[in-house]
Structure 1
Amino acid sequence: MRKLDTRTIVVASHNAGKIREIRDLIGPLGFTAKSAADLNFIEPDETGTTFEENAMIKALASAKAAGLPALSDDSGLVIDALDGAPGVYTANWAEREDGSRDFSMAMEKVEKALAEKGAGTPADRTARFVSVLCLAWPDGHTELFRGEIEGTVVWPPRGTQGFGYDPVFQPHGFQTTFGEMSAEEKHGWKPGDAEALSHRARAFKRFVETCLEA
């Protein structure tokens, strides 16, 4: 495993919600970070069929363009009753014909698909959020970190916090959705803590333990 010897990196994302969450997580560690969106980098085509492949595509594109280490996130909602969908195509379910993304529409698509499967009880609506972080260097070296959180898809959506599918995901052991949690509650982790809640915080914790800690 390669250690990160700089606190200047690129957040390899154009997704405002992801950029905000990653900055919330790296901020306490003293990082200086600009996003791929800030730097006007072209979004690479995400042609992978796994979270790991797509995370690597994004991180390597930004690392090589910036000449700096880059940290990307590829994440999605994996629903058992839908055979793992939307999965790596989580963002695609939100795409409109004009290229914009509408996650209210995407959540309605999920609910319609579950209804068609007859998934009416919590036991029928199990799911997990998956996040894979990739740290890439300009020379092409990469490190991958995966985090998952189990839960249930609920309807109707609840809460206006977070982003994406957060309002319909209720993690096991909680009565609130990610959409009803503050950023601090959702992540459930800061540097030095033993446990993390969200999929992204769990992946980030592994990144810190592997690439930052002595």
Structure 2
Amino acid sequence: MTTPDTTKTLVLASNNAGKVREFQAMFGELGIRIVPQGELGVGSADEPFGTFLENALAKARHAARETGLPAMADDSGICADALGGCPGVHSARFAGGHDDAANNRLLVEKLQGAATRRAHYTCLLVAVRHPEDPEPLVAEGVWQGEIVDEAAGDGGFGYDPHFYVPEFGKTAAELTAEEKNRVSHRARALAAMAELMRARWM
């Protein structure tokens, strides 16, 4: 399947600097230039849905509609087993606002006395060639770990300082960028999406 040259530029439906760096690192290898939607004057889309998939698709379609370019969006969050998958799609605003410290405090508080501290990050990634694309590419990445009471590390963002990764014996915030970019939920989703793009769009 061939696509127009505009696929070399892909609008990212996010202005999160951390995400932008991770996306650029992965898709630059495919000759794709990632442009945050804010640079094109596109505002954030509504995210009214209860699933990562629906929110990611809504954001990708919004960015494609506003720019006339192919677009990609992710919806991601942390899901605690003992809380039935919460915070889930509400991870960024778990404590009522975009405040990582407050979100982490609330999650730790809710897990006090829980039978398990197991949790996982999920990243659901969607790419569309145009807003009405009937065949969006969908990739998922999951990163298993557990929530610890004491924060450790100053890297990453979100829940990383409290997300302990047994295979490394460290929290996600203590990992180097290179380590995280190999094993994180977003890294896994990005790698899967890159393979889909090679197979379907290149």
Q: Distance in 2 between matches of 1:126 and 1:103?
A: 20
The one-letter amino acid of 1:153's match is I
In 2, are the aligned partners of 1:4 and 1:211 still within 8 Å (CA)? no
The one-letter amino acid of 2:166's match is H
Matched, 1:200 2:197: no
C-alpha deviations, 1:101-143, integer Å up to 9, x for none? 210110000011111xx13xxx710011000000012242211
Q: Residue 38 of structure 2 aligns to a residue in which SS?
A: coil
Q: Distance in 2 between matches of 1:77 and 1:39?
A: 29
Alpha-carbon deviation of 1:85? 0.6
In 2, are the aligned partners of 1:3 and 1:212 still within 8 Å (CA)? no
Matched, 1:163 2:163: no
Matched, 1:13 2:5: no
Alignment partner, residue 143 of structure 2: 149
Of the three residues 95, 109, 121, the one matched with 1:112 is: 109
TM-score where L is the length of structure 1:
0.85
In 1, are the aligned partners of 2:57 and 2:126 still within 8 Å (CA)? yes
Superposed counterparts of 1:45-84, under 5 Å: 45-84=46-85
Alpha-carbon deviation of 1:15? 2.4
In 2, are the aligned partners of 1:64 and 1:137 still within 8 Å (CA)? no
Q: Distance in 1 between matches of 2:149 and 2:21?
A: 26
Q: 1:46 to 1:147 in 2, by over 3 A?
A: same
In 2, are the aligned partners of 1:131 and 1:148 still within 8 Å (CA)? yes
Alignment partner, residue 180 of structure 1: 174
The one-letter amino acid of 2:177's match is A
* Unaligned stretches of 5+ residues in structure 2: none
C-alpha deviations, 1:31-86, integer Å up to 9, x for none? 21210122221211101111000000111000111111111110000001111110
Task: Say what the alpha-carbon RMSD is for the aligned residues.
Answer: 1.8
Alignment partner, residue 140 of structure 1: 132
Q: Distance in 1 between matches of 2:61 and 2:158?
A: 24
TM-score where L is the length of structure 2:
0.90
The sequence identity of aligned pairs, in percent, is 38
The one-letter amino acid of 1:176's match is K
Q: Residue 157 of structure 1 aligns to a residue in which SS?
A: coil
The one-letter amino acid of 2:147's match is V
Q: Distance in 1 between matches of 2:175 and 2:157?
A: 11
Q: Residue 86 of structure 2 aligns to a residue in which SS?
A: coil
Alpha-carbon deviation of 1:172? 3.4
In 1, are the aligned partners of 2:13 and 2:73 still within 8 Å (CA)? yes
Alpha-carbon deviation of 1:20? 2.4
**Larger helix proportion of the pair:** 2
Count of residue pairs brought into register by the alignment: 196
Alpha-carbon deviation of 1:4? 6.3
